[in-house]
Amino acid sequence: MSDILDPRHEAQVEFLFRRACKVLDMPGFELRPLRRRARGTAKLRSYSQGYTKIGEKVVTIDLYTPHNLKPRKLSAIFRVVCHELAHHQKPPRIYRIWFHHVRRIHHPIFWQQYKKNVAALAQDEILGQVMLYN
């Protein structure tokens, strides 16, 4: 049983991901597709669209829809890419609220960076077409 459902879709996303990293000036990042289903069974493992680890330069993104496993729209994939790369640009903050330390992952400055990333990809000549029409 092959893990790759649509090799053309994954190759296109990989090419556009490298372009997005170049536009956002974040070299060295690697894209991994999220393997949603447990191999050999029909059970879903998660509903997350993507994740990243701050210390590593790896971004894992779900390229297919949850139940039908159809290829996701490229514009939706690249919004998730902008979100995950913003985690590396503006890392989580630790706030002190009363006597507790709270780790805020999605703080307001993070969302500003996300919007900047989406705008930068929309300004690009290749990725702008993807963000608008797909």
Q: Which of 54, 115, 57 is nearest to 83 (CA)?
A: 115
Q: pTM of the predicted model, to two decimals?
A: 0.85
Tens of pLDDT, residues 12-45: 999 999 999 999 999 999 999 887 665 555 556 6
- For 53-75, what is each residue's pLDDT tens digit? 888 999 999 888 877 778 889 99
DSSP element (H, E) containing 129: helix 125-133
Contacts of 7 by beta carbon, 8 Å cutoff, 6+ apart? none
Note whether 58 and 52 are within 8 A (CB): yes
Whole-angstrom distance, CA of residue 53 vs CA of residue 58: 7
What topology does CATH give the domain 7-133? Answer: Zincin-like (3.30.2010)
In this predicted structure, the answer to whether residue 1 has a pLDDT above a threshold of 50 is no
